[in-house]
Amino acid sequence: MLQAPQRTALSGPALIRLLARLADVDAPESRQSLSDRLSQWLGWTDAIALSSALSGNPPAVTAAARSFGSAEESEYVRARSSLAKTITGDSVFAADRRRGSAHGSAHASSQNAPVEPAADYAVFRQRYLSIQQSMEMAIGNLRGRLRGMLATRTPAMARLAVVDAVMERALGERERTLLASVPGLLAGHFERLRAAEQATLAAAEAADDAGSDAASNAASNTAALTPGAWLNVFRKDMQSVLLAELDVRLQPVEGLLAALRAS
């Protein structure tokens, strides 16, 4: 019996590993170092700005620096929790609980289950993009406030704040472009799930109509399948991708928080 080739296990962020699985693609590990990749992503003006931030005199710090405390930590927790609730509580991603339990055969199940409205991926795509915008705005504001606080600490911390600002400006457009492509990757997953369920139900109904021994086998294979269940699977998967993206977007903020704790 032929076996499907094993995919190479990825060691990157959860977002990359999840997308590779859902998009059904093999994403090999990059052989480039981080510095090599950055050299390709940064324009010459960005490189100059970054070099100046790293090698120039550190910015002056103010004498009356506000102390870092629980307020900033709490703001981060609130922002993260609010964005996560936006994702998990969104009505577009809510599971349809009107589905009945599976019946003895796929044919019977399709006769008794509620009629599934035509699923339009454009609705999911638009909602994904809208949540992305909410994440970018909320996290960008928080990042800016933490960076401003870091700039009032020691000269070394002030330099770090400048470097973070340069990196955000230099890589922001590339980040937006890459993350905006995620809904396109999920479109294929949407279609594959729908096609797989339709094929399974059609095969079971054909076997049932034929009255052959294959009918019982087909029925047993689809006994736990409710028409339209694929859409709930997709909703859950899209939520998982958004939550993984939230983790990636928050990494710079977590880095600034770590620097503030150490300052």
Cβ–Cβ < 8 Å for 106, 201: yes
- Is residue 35's pLDDT more than 60? yes
What are the b/e assignments for 170-195, b being 16+ CB within 10 Å? bbeeeeeeebeebbeebeebbeebbe
Question: Phi, psi (5° rounding) for residue 177?
Answer: -65, -45
Q: Is residue 40 part of a domain?
A: no
Tokens standing for residue 5: 């080739």
Q: Is residue 169 part of a domain?
A: yes
Domain that holds residue 239: 66-197+204-262
Q: Is residue 47 part of a domain?
A: no
Mean pLDDT over 189-204 rounds to 89
pTM above 0.75? yes
Q: Is residue 192 part of a domain?
A: yes
In the chain, the N- to C-terminal Cα span, in Å, equals: 61
What's residue 211's pLDDT? 63
Q: Is residue 171 part of a domain?
A: yes
42-46, 110-114, 242-246: which is most confident: 242-246
Helix axis angle, 44-55 to 155-180, nearest 10°: 160
Looking at every residue in the chain, the average pLDDT score rounds to: 80
Mean pLDDT over 104-117 rounds to 47
pLDDT band for 52, please (50, 70, 90 cuts). Answer: confident
Q: Is residue 56 part of a domain?
A: no
Q: What is the DSSP string of the chain?
A: ---PPPPPPP-S-HHHHHHHHHTT---PPP-S-HHHHHHHHS-HHHHHHHHHHHHSPPPP--SSPPPP-HHHHHHHHHHHHHHHHHHHT-GGGS--TTPPPP-SSHHHHHHHSPPPPPP-HHHHHHHHHHHHHHHHHHHHHHHHHHHHHHTTS-HHHHHHHHHHHHHHHHHHHHHHHHHHTHHHHHHHHHHHHHHHHHHHHHHHHHHHHHTSHHHHHHHHHTTT--TTHHHHHHHHHHHHHHHHHHHHHHHHHHHHHHHHHH-
Q: Is residue 248 part of a domain?
A: yes
Domain count, the chain: 1
Q: Is residue 4 part of a domain?
A: no
pLDDT band for 86, please (50, 70, 90 cuts). Answer: very high
Question: Count of CB atoms within 10 A of residue 20's CB?
Answer: 19
